[in-house]
Amino acid sequence: MITETPMIRQYNEIKKDHKDALLFFRMGDFYELFFEDAKIASKILGITLTSRSKGENAVPMAGIPHHASESYTRKLIKAGHKVAICEQLQDPGEAKGIVDRGVIRIITPGTVTEDALLDGKNNNYLLALWKDKEIFGLSWIDLSTGKFEIEDIREERLFDELARLNPSEIVLPDDITESNATFTQRIRTECNAMITPLPAWEFSESTGYQALLEHFGTHSLEGFGCQDAGVALGAAGAILHYLKETQKTSLKHIAKIQKYETNNRVIMDRATQQSLELTQTIRNKNREGSLLGALDQTKTPMGARLLKDWVISPLKNHDEIKYRQLGVREFTEKPELRREIIAILHDIYDIERIAAKVSCGRANARDLISLQQSLSKLPELKEKLDFFITAIISDREKEIDPLDELRTLIGMAISLDSPHSLKEGGIIKEGYDAALDELRYISKNGKQWIAHFQAEEIARTNINSLKVGYNKVFGYYIEITNTHRENIPPAYIRKQTLKNAERYITPELKEYETKVLTAEERAKDLEYDLFIQLRDKAGTFTKQLQGISEAIAQIDVLSTLAKIAVENRYAMPEITDSLELNINDGCHPVLTMELDRERFVPNDINLDGVQDKTMVITGPNMAGKSTYIRQTALLVIMAQMGSFIPAKNATIGTVDRIFARVGASDELSKGQSTFMVEMNETANILNNATERSLIILDEVGRGTSTFDGISIAWAITEYIYQNIGARTLFATHYHELTELSLLFAGIKNFNVAVKEWGEEIIFLRKIVAGGTDKSYGIHVARLAGIPKQIIQRARSILNNLEAATLDINGKPKFAPLKTDHVKKPRQRKLFASKEDLVIDEIKKLSLDEIAPADALNKLAELKKRLYEDE
């Protein structure tokens, strides 16, 4: 049994309320961790595990210096832990017994606000979700910016929204975490987020509504357009409750709540976002190589975060798209101003996050300097923006207010070389506060006095080696070496004996010491108070600062898109409400940046969406099928973001949803078979696509036997064409699917051209009309370096198969050809042949109703059809 010391007793008392966090227990200049916490932290942080007390009472302990705590916290948070910061709440000097301690904040992945723990280019969301009947209420907040939103959605869209938001922490009602392990586990794996259970009653809709009214100090949520929000209010209430519990600071920067309007945005589910590599690549999960990576040349973190939002949620409304597009166009037309504006943006810091830190009382002097420097760029920015006439730019220009009062105040008060710490002084400028200046004068001159005192004492005593020194225990003292002991004046009071010297004080020295030292301390205290006053004052500008940030973010994104458009010779697509999809000389926006534009072969797409809706694209491996269909989706996304696109010209009828199934799936690790995942995702498309959607399918059905695969792919394409009518691009190796075009006028065949050159094939990368029946898979295998012997063997097997050598059971033989083989037609017709179709038509003819001349015409037409394409 461990005998508890009073301090460990205090620790246990505090730890009891923070079982799910690692407790950073402040002791002097260190945060100490004890017991299990110490073991966990020492492993993750690679710090030494020691022990407090010995023997039976030994308590495992690990410590980290408080000034370096941010980097340690970051590692612990990344490793999936919460950190509770427990501070000393009184001056140890004043404590009778154990110093008072208490937890001042709990840092969790969803609530961090420190720069070191955040990524400037991404929002960091804390999300709460709550279910009532079939509806999920979602609410999410980025505490580091104050962005707070809600949305009610149906269950089937839940995981798509979670993928879009990518929260780092999810607050769930405990009745879900306790009773629905499968659901909780799915959230955990799909979102890779920390799950925090909260009592279910914290999610009540009416409590949430009240909590929001209280927080915003309003009588209703009408002003935020959230009055009629439903289940999501419960989730928003749970978020507020959780923040109050963990943050214990002002949450004033959460100045509004908004309803996320899915209706205005193109919906893209999780698999689509991944397949199209919108924000990260499939293979390495890197930003580089994704659409966002290619477009993100923004200069401010606010701009980078907004661009991400534009990429993953393009607009649906034609007018809203146009509003942005015209802004981009104007930036392309004014190159000089654009360059100057981009240069100004370069010098603007993350005002949005600084404003949040100011409001939470976590900003230091350097943050205020960054704020002031950013604000000082705004007059010039406004001046340049004043030359622009499009609505989106002049609207934003009006919202940018340089906040002269705040800017001047910070400029007058805060010294440019302020330290990180707020308690060490060196923050407030000379001349800002008279009382501070006076204290500083005393402190400085007091030191001079001491130098003068030393010189006088040397002269008076004739002891040249006499020194006035200072230490923490005795304060100022006079040190005299033992050789001069005889000459010491009687007024000197001995304080300390060293080996070769003695230390003395005098009443006069002590009197000055008090003055000097307290002046210095008092000056530091006053500086701190002045800083807090200034920060509080800055806090009153939070709302304006958030508005300015939003405006700057938009200017940043629009000018970036324009810069990219000019540098890469993009065109402004015409956006219409039709169903057409016409792109001439379209290029892949990411590949063209990686390859040079000259080497990339541009391609067209021409679907009117009424007659022509479906493209079946065949072609050899490596020809460029996936690239082409992906490129089409990316160009539509860019167009609906308001951006220009890499093409000669384009007319795009807006799409409401994009579904893409391209490339490798990463679901295998989650215990589902490739084919099952593919079928799940396809079912989702079939159930949710509309006539206005864009569907991009790559080799659907490849995960099962050939005949199953072809049949499924055939039926799916047919269904989409007949029952949904969405614009669809289907890339496939099943050449049989080209026969669909015989049945349906609006399904067209295309292939990616290649040229044969002896043994070699040359990829032309050009999409041309018509189907193909060659795969060149073995050729690609050879290019990939598969050993020659295997290539030769594969060729011989292929020859066999193509000659359809059958064994006695009627199955193809894989052995080399023999002379007694039975020749069969090269390919079995799996589906309707031309002859079948003509017979069908004849059967349908009613001879009683047809005039002889029409009958002759019909006969001529049928005959023509039989010889078509031959």
Q: What is the DSSP letter of 446?
A: H
As a whole number of Å, the end-to-end CA separation of the chain is 94
Q: Cβ closer to ligand ATP: 574 or 585?
A: 585
Report the 10 Å Cβ neighbour count for 850: 13
Q: Are 586 and 650 in contact (CB under 8 A)?
A: yes
Distance of alpha carbon 556 from alpha carbon 589, whole angstroms: 20
Q: Cβ closer to ligand ATP: 499 or 599?
A: 599
Distance of alpha carbon 575 from alpha carbon 637, whole angstroms: 12
State the nearest-atom distance from the C-beta of 765 to ligand ATP, in Å: 4
State the nearest-atom distance from the C-beta of 812 to ligand ATP, in Å: 23
State the nearest-atom distance from the C-beta of 602 to ligand ATP, in Å: 7
Q: What is the DSSP letter of 28?
A: T
Annotated ligand binding at 624? The verdict is yes
Which DSSP helix (H) or strand (E) runs through 858? helix 852-867
Annotated ligand binding at 61? The verdict is no
Q: Cβ closer to ligand ATP: 440 or 779?
A: 779
Reading across the β-sheet that carries 493-497, which strands appear in turn? 467-471, 475-481, 501-505, 493-497
Q: Where are the beta strands (DSSP E) in 71-212?
A: 82-88, 101-107, 126-132, 135-142, 147-154, 169-173, 194-198
State the nearest-atom distance from the C-beta of 291 to ligand ATP, in Å: 16
State the nearest-atom distance from the C-beta of 150 to ligand ATP, in Å: 40
Nearest to 733, CA basis, from 842, 603, 624, 618: 618
Annotated ligand binding at 620? The verdict is yes
Which pair of tokens denotes residue 527? 């500086």
Distance of alpha carbon 734 from alpha carbon 617, whole angstroms: 10
Which DSSP helix (H) or strand (E) runs through 273? helix 270-275
State the nearest-atom distance from the C-beta of 766 to ligand ATP, in Å: 8
State the nearest-atom distance from the C-beta of 229 to ligand ATP, in Å: 44
Q: Cβ closer to ligand ATP: 509 or 622?
A: 622
Q: Cβ closer to ligand ATP: 64 or 637?
A: 637
State the nearest-atom distance from the C-beta of 626 to ligand ATP, in Å: 3
* Planar angle of CA 320, 325, 326, nearest 5 degrees: 105
Q: Which residue is nearest to ligand ATP (CB)?
A: 624
Give the bridge partners for 172, in sequence order.
Answer: 197
Q: Cβ closer to ligand ATP: 624 or 725?
A: 624
State the nearest-atom distance from the C-beta of 624 to ligand ATP, in Å: 3
Distance of alpha carbon 867 from alpha carbon 626, whole angstroms: 33
HSE-up of residue 755 (Cα within 13 Å, Cβ side): 5
Q: Where are the beta strands (DSSP E) in 158-199?
A: 169-173, 194-198
Give the bridge partners for 694, in sequence order.
Answer: 658, 727
Q: Cβ closer to ligand ATP: 658 or 729?
A: 729
List b or e across 14-41, with b for residues whose CB sees 16 or more CB atoms inside 10 angstroms.
ebeebeebbbbbbbeebbbbbbebbebb
Q: Cβ closer to ligand ATP: 780 or 837?
A: 780
Residues that bind ligand ATP (CB under 6 A): 600-601, 603, 619, 621-627, 765
Distance of alpha carbon 29 from alpha carbon 31, whole angstroms: 7
Distance of alpha carbon 118 from alpha carbon 2, whole angstroms: 41
Distance of alpha carbon 462 from alpha carbon 465, whole angstroms: 9
Reported residue count of the chain is: 870
Annotated ligand binding at 625? The verdict is yes
Q: Cβ closer to ligand ATP: 598 or 848?
A: 598
Q: Cβ closer to ligand ATP: 281 or 621?
A: 621
Q: Are 405 and 396 in contact (CB under 8 A)?
A: no
State the nearest-atom distance from the C-beta of 702 to ligand ATP, in Å: 10
State the nearest-atom distance from the C-beta of 762 to ligand ATP, in Å: 12
Annotated ligand binding at 42? The verdict is no
State the nearest-atom distance from the C-beta of 778 to ligand ATP, in Å: 12
Distance of alpha carbon 301 from alpha carbon 226, whole angstroms: 28
Annotated ligand binding at 626? The verdict is yes
Which DSSP helix (H) or strand (E) runs through 768? strand 760-769
Q: Cβ closer to ligand ATP: 298 or 592?
A: 592
478 three-state secondary structure: strand
Evaluated on CA atoms 699, 700, 702, 707, the torsion sign reads negative
Per the annotation, where are the binding residues for ATP?
Answer: 619-626
Per the annotation, where are the binding residues?
Answer: 619-626
